[in-house]
Structure 1
Amino acid sequence: MLHSLKVALVIFFYLSSFTLAHSANSTNNTSGLLPEKQTQNLFNLAMLALQKGQYKAAEEILSHISLYDSSPRIKLELARIQFLLGNYKDSQYLFEELLIAKQLPWPVQQNVNKYLNEIDLALGFYKFNLAWTSETNPRNFTSSKEVELVFGEVGVIEPSDNKTIYGIQYSLNTGKALTEIRRTVGFANFTYKDYPNKTFDRITSDLGIYHNMQSWQGVRIRTGLESAFISGQHLYRYPYISTVYYPNPNHQFNSNYELKLGYIDISESSYHDAYTVSLEANFSKKSGSNSIIESNVKLELNLAEEQPYSYSGTLFGLGYGHNFDLFQVKATTSVLHRRYKEDDPLFIGRREDNRYKAGITLVPNRFRLFDVTPVIGVIAEKNNSSLDFYSYDKVSFVFKLQN
């Protein structure tokens, strides 16, 4: 049935082209443009083919229209179809042409950047970012002066090194297709936070591969290994596998979903080792010509080696981005609730946390430094726990140079 539809669409396309050419000759139309009504009819036909998954037919129709109409909407849809067909270089050229010409509303530009990130993964890329950071309360230490243990109340003495720290963060992200048809891609992400006293120096890495399923459009299998070191000591390793679903995005709304399974192995704290399961959904929606609304929901389950450290959690997040004349601003907020399975063996009662985060980032539109874009961000975080020892608050600041 789908094959028949494709044949019918292509036949209709060529018949339409012939009719147009004949009409143009008979009326001595030398403007080089298709009649507006005919352009719209062909465009609607291409969108119908796209919805039915007939990407090649949609490409043929839009390629024909683009000979006469170079408007942004034609280029944009043609770029998107080239992406779906796996013609990444052609798609990249069209997307970048649209961004350089500044012909798209800001929310649509953000969606285009998501396509370009996927194209980078397929074609191969590396990105290096440099940031200056500061952080209050680097140990996430409690602000309480006393905590209640099973044998009574004790005073809390804050470590002398738990002061505001300043450092430099280096980030490297790379990706490369491992097969000729670019369905399987390897990736490697590294971050190094360098602080003057070395106590809080931290290295994190995420290495792995993902495979785009041929039989299920938009489904990706990802597997990898996360690791972290702090002050030169191994902190944890986290092998994982996940299934990610990316429905075809449009210019008004897009989303993605991920089911992730893993096992976290924490060095020198085996009772925290745990099997993990999480399900996450992310959404973004265009709001007007210069705004985006984002949201995310995450459910998590952590099954630790010892039951008091097992928990279930729920996260809700909201974000709002707006493009002003001189700069872009994005505000985010989230709430994470975690409930532990059994009473804590050291403190009295069962642990239950509510962690609140709020942040804002600013990106200038008309200023670049050494051919990179500066980004300024501030994040405030507060954790309220039923066990005072785990309650804390902190503020982080970052100034990043982003290419």
Structure 2
Amino acid sequence: MGSPTILRGRLASLLVGCLTMFSVAAASATEPVTQATPDDDTYQVFFAIGMEELRRQNYPAAIQVFKMLSNRLDSQRIRLELARAYFLDRQYEHSKRLFNDILADASLPWGVRENVNRYLDLIDEALGNIKFSVAFVTDSNPMNYTESRQVMIAGQVLTIAQPPENEETHGIEYGVTATKAFTADASVVGFAKVSFRDLEGDDFDRWTLDGGIALFPRTYRKLQGRVGIEESYYAGDHQYRQPYVSVTYFPDPVERFRLSTEARLAYLDVDEYDHLDAFSQTLTARASTILANSMQVLGSVYVENSDADEKPYSYQGAGVSSTVSLPLFDTWGVDLSAGYGTRNYLDDDPFFTKQRRDNTTKLSFLVHNKQWKVFGFTPEFGVAYQHTDSNISFYEFDKTTFVLRAKN
């Protein structure tokens, strides 16, 4: 006898064949295809079987069921499930074509449209692509410098002056993201991301590079891995490197955006400041849902631990964030985001002789149009505000950033 998985697959294929034969016979004896309705009990049974095969990871059988239904019924829901079945079976070209056809429907609810765009981003990553972006940015506090004018160091009150170069500045930010599948089923994908922020003068120019390998095990769809390294250059000098490894767990691969958990390990190596070198561990849970088909809500919660070479710079932290994506008008939408995080350092600060505690609040909005393209680029603009409060006033600061971006 074969294994339960093989027997189940054979049984499902046989059942799909029987259902297809029944559908053909019913089509010749009953009303035309164009008059069939998704509420028909027979088709509801077929649809339920297709969904069950998805959850059993019998994707070929699910594809057969949904293809048969899509040929019989004019239903976007069925097309969506067929596109998702192709995606899970790693037939990315078929999946992409179907998702793009679905997006062409102007009546598609906003929340569903946002989810489809997320699938298309994953498909582009798996198939391999190069994406560019260019943005005009302004930064009200490029050095994240405190607004406090007096601080206490070693028991003495000292007056500090704002560095003259730390004033509102603006410039251009360039970005390139590339992916390349190394296997036919895209179970191993290379990725690279490069960004360059060119602000006025050379004092605040920053390069950031991130590259590595993403792993998508074919035999266990609930896991996804990533191994990479991030490098940063600031004002022409190498700032840090950070190799990392992460594993993401999806409890339900069919509803991969609904809930996931990521564990990440990293080592921060800071040039010329060895006391800041640190091993870090971060655990993040993410969730998303669609409310009333008209908005998408995303949320995350994280805890973190960083063990620096010197204990005063080690910390433990936690935070929460949420984004609500809403339609504005026609094909325009807005993302409203809020986040709050806290960090507690583990020993007295060597300059201020007490343990540091920081609380950071972030607020932002981003207006975008993913269907309007100019020379292949889509526009977006937004404003982000950050406030960091600390029991040591020297570490308190505010900043506001404006971005006008075009990306393909």
TM-score by length of 1: 0.95
Q: Counterpart in 2 of 1:189?
A: 193
User: 1:253 deviation in Å?
Assistant: 6.0
Q: Given that residues 321 and 328 in structure 1 are in contact (C-alpha distance below 8 angstroms), is that contact kept between their aligned partners in structure 2?
A: yes
Percent identity of the aligned residues?
A: 31
Map of 2:83 onto structure 1 = 79
Kindly tell me: are residues 395 and 22 of structure 1, through their superposed partners in 2, closer, same or farther at Cα, counting changes over 3 Å?
closer
Greater displacement, 48-57 / 129-138: 48-57
- Whether the 8 Å CA contact 1:2–1:52 is kept in 2: the answer is no
Say if 1:18 and 1:151 are closer, same or farther in 2 by CA, change over 3 A: closer
Cα separation, partners in 2 of 1:34 and 1:15, compared to 1, 3 Å? farther
Q: Is the 8 A contact 2:371 2:378 kept in 1?
A: no
Residue 123 of structure 1: how far off its partner (Å) = 0.8
**1:303 aligned residue:** 307
- 1:136 aligned onto 2:136: no
For residues 161 and 101 of structure 2, what CA distance do their matches in structure 1 show? 59
- Correspondence 1:46 to 2:50: yes
CA distance in 1, matches of 2:13, 2:274: 62
Q: Report Cα offsets for 1:378-398 as digits up to 9, x if no partner.
A: 011110111111011111110
Report the AA paired with residue 99 of structure 2.
F
Q: Cα gap change, 1:314/1:30 in structure 2, threshold over 3 Å: closer, same or farther?
A: closer
Q: Which residue of structure 1 lines up, in the alignment, with residue 14 of structure 2?
A: 11
Residues 1:88 and 1:278: Cα distance change in structure 2 (over 3 Å) = same
Moved more, 374-383 or 362-371: 362-371
What is the number of residues matched between the two proteins?
A: 402
Check conservation: 1:252, 1:286, Cα contact below 8 A.
Answer: no
The alpha carbon displacement at 1:39 in A equals 2.0
Residue 88 of structure 2 contacts residue 254 of structure 2 at CA under 8 Å; is this kept in 1?
Answer: no
Q: Alignment partner for residue 389 of structure 1, among 389, 394, 397?
A: 394
Distance, in Å, in 2 between the alignment partners of 1:271 and 1:258 is 28
Residue 232 of structure 2 corresponds to 228
Give distance in 2, aligned partners of 1:178 and 1:67. Answer: 35
Alignment of structure 1 residues 1-400 onto 2, 5 Å: 1-26=4-29, 29-31=31-33, 36-248=40-252, 254-326=258-330, 327-364=332-369, 367-400=372-405
Conservation of the 8 A alpha-carbon contact between 1:148 and 1:348: no
2:287–2:300 Cα contact (<8 Å) kept: yes
Q: Decide whether the 8 Å contact of 1:177 with 1:186 is kept in 2.
A: yes
Distance, in Å, in 2 between the alignment partners of 1:32 and 1:376 is: 43
Secondary structure at 1:199's aligned position in 2?
coil
Amino acid at match of 1:11: L
- Which amino acid is 2:193 matched to? N
TM-aligned CA deviation for residue 319 of structure 1: 1.6
Letter of the aligned partner of 2:363 in structure 1?
A: A
Q: Which moved more, 1:2-11 or 1:173-182?
A: 2-11
Residues in 2 aligned to 1:242 and 1:88: alpha-carbon distance in whole angstroms: 24
Task: State the 1:53 CA deviation.
Answer: 1.8
2:171·2:199 contact (CA, 8 Å) conserved in 1?
A: yes
Q: Tell me the distance in 2 between the aligned counterparts of 1:34 and 1:398.
A: 49
Question: Could you tell me how far apart the structure 2 residues matched to 1:131 and 1:341 are?
Answer: 39
Letter of the 1:374 partner, please give it. P
- Matches of 2:251 and 2:108, distance apart in 1: 22
Where does structure 2 lack aligned partners over 5 or more consecutive residues? none
Corresponding letter in the other structure for 1:105: P
How far 1:106 moved relative to its partner?
1.2
Structure 1 residues 119-147: Cα deviation after superposition (integer angstroms, max 9, x where no partner)? 11111101000100000111111111110
- Distance across 1 between alignment mates of 2:306 and 2:217: 28
- How far 1:100 sits from its partner (Å)? 2.0
**1:325 CA drift (Å):** 2.1
Distance 2:77 2:312 in 1: 56
CA distance 1:202–1:23, shift in 2 (3 Å): closer
User: Could you tell me how far 1:290 is from its partner in structure 2?
Assistant: 1.3
1:180–1:366 Cα change, 3 Å: closer
TM-score (norm 2): 0.94
Whether the 8 Å contact between 2:279 and 2:307 is mirrored in structure 1 is: yes
8 Å contact kept, 2:223–2:250: yes
Deviates more, 1:282-291 or 1:350-359: 282-291
Distance (whole Å) between structure 1 residues aligned to residue 92 and residue 369 of structure 2: 29
The Cα of 1:54 is off from its aligned counterpart by: 1.4
Q: Does the C-alpha gap of structure 1 residues 103 and 13 become closer, same or farther in structure 2, counting only changes over 3 Å?
A: farther
Q: Tell whether the 8 Å contact from 1:382 to 1:394 is kept in structure 2 after alignment.
A: yes
In 2, Cα distance between equivalents of 1:102 and 1:249 = 28
- Following superposition, the deviation at residue 85 of structure 1 comes to 0.7
Structure 1 residues 104, 248: closer, same or farther in 2, change over 3 A? farther
Unaligned runs of 5+ in 1: none
Mapped to 2, the partners of 1:354 and 1:161 lie a distance apart of 26
